[in-house]
Structure 1
Amino acid sequence: MAALGLAIIPAPATATPSYCGLVWGSLDKANSNPSTAPLTDVRSGRNRCFDRLVLDFAGAVTGYHVGYVDSVSMDGSGAAVPLRGGAYLSVVALAPAYDDAGSGTYRPADRRELVDVTGYGTFRQVAWAGSFEGRTTVGLGVRARLPFRVFGLEGPGSGSRIVLDVAHYW
């Protein structure tokens, strides 16, 4: 073909490469299995490609609903939870933050700053939104509406974790 004066144009790529090989999306993610195992801790971590939020439970927990919202609402009252960031994730565990006697099993020192996310690539703020009628909500302020994934893990011991990873970029 080049002899006829036609340029050879390579075919377009069939897929755009993803950031760090991540193929997550930004739509809501859910697992509808409720539990009575209470929340015991909220913690976070950083990775080269994403920031991670972990909810720890004193038993098996797999139920959650995580999605982008215009405003995270306080459990029970519905009041808006102030968050820093360009986008907000409502992180709902289908499990309480109190025991069978109604005593709190997770008592944050500062409801506005559950964990220190200073210097994180994506996270801007993690705030308490409450626990009511077997559901516990955490508000997560992030830099922008970015891809995320959610999954459950067993352990340590008889406990479990709900893990939320939010990518640094698309």
Structure 2
Amino acid sequence: MTGQPDGPGGAGVLAALPAEHSGRLTALAREAVFPAATRIFEEGERADRFWIVRSGTVALDVQVPGRGRAVVETIGKGALLGWSWLCPPRQWHLGAETRDAVHAWEFDADAVRDLCAEHPALGMALVTVVAETIGDRLRATRTRLLDLYGPTGSQGSSSAP
């Protein structure tokens, strides 16, 4: 790693971890730079790494049968890019493409899982952050797909008790 995360303790994911844990995690980081309009990963591919975005934005998308890719969320500075590395079968659940140039910290999933095994408190803190990210992404995906493909007028169609 050729530097430290932005600001004291970083932003977003790193800020959610106690300093001791974020320090251990960032010791494993490598700098990654992606030009605008770069596909970082595709839904269904092997997930063997993840990133913490330092600058720029990344669009997350899902393949909709017969319709192609639908952007479900756009993330930026401090956000965790990729959570599928944590749980088998370790395949990306979404796709990701840069909207503009992105600078990120890249982490090898095997090395991070090994670190978590060595330091269970760090592992629990990281799993908690990843679980929160999964929940946020699930809500964003559901909302976006309902906006795009849900039945017209579905918001007021339920009958009152």
Q: TM-score, normalised by structure 1?
A: 0.23
Give 1 or 2 for the bigger CA radius of gyration: 1
Q: TM-score, normalised by structure 2?
A: 0.23
Higher strand share: 1
